[in-house]
Amino acid sequence: MRFLSIYMCPERSTPPTGEEMATMGKLVEDWMKSGKLLATEGCLPTSLGARVRIDAGKYSVSDGPFTESKEVVGGFAILDAPSKEVAVEYVKEFLKVVGTGLCEVRQLYDANCVPEGVQEPCVVRAAS
């Protein structure tokens, strides 16, 4: 099963140190080789980003930084795990490396594996 881990953390005002990059690089390399990490990316500062919202059909765009936010998205990972419990254990290992923050873990939809209690989506078939 695939899981999305969204890492939330306080915004940093400095880039990661060389030691932090090396430690994270080793974790990423080991997880990629083992097959439990399918993809990952870190985010640049919110000062380079924007928030886009729609309400009643009208869009609003707010440029960063998002100083009102205590925690921002720091990055994401796509994990391959046999269960949510195992994915949570992977995330605990990641959080131990970064030292602070939280991760939201969500199972990703897979047409071959619909979790119990989730209705299957409608299938749209091409016109004949």
118 assigned to some structural domain: no
100 assigned to some structural domain: yes
Question: In the chain, which ranges are E strands?
Answer: 2-9, 37-42, 50-55, 58-63, 72-80, 102-107
Structural domain boundaries enclosing 89: 2-107
CA-CA distance, 7 to 77, in Å (whole number)? 8
- Sign for the pseudo-dihedral over CA of 53, 107, 87, 79: negative
40 assigned to some structural domain: yes
Average pLDDT over residues 77-94: 97
18 assigned to some structural domain: yes
Number of domains in the chain: 1
116 assigned to some structural domain: no
Q: What is the residue-averaged pLDDT of the chain?
A: 89
124 assigned to some structural domain: no
Average pLDDT over residues 63-88: 93
Average pLDDT over residues 62-84: 93
31 assigned to some structural domain: yes
- Cβ atoms 105, 3 nearer than 8 A: yes
113 assigned to some structural domain: no
Span 13-69, pLDDT tens digits: 888 899 999 999 999 999 999 999 999 999 999 999 999 999 999 999 999 998 888
- Cβ atoms 37, 78 nearer than 8 A: yes
User: What does the pLDDT read at residue 15?
Assistant: 86
pLDDT band for 116, please (50, 70, 90 cuts): low
CA-CA distance, 89 to 7, in Å (whole number)? 14
Q: What's the CATH code of the domain at 53? A: 3.30.70.1060
User: What does the pLDDT read at residue 123?
Assistant: 45
Other Cβ atoms closer than 10 A to 37: 20
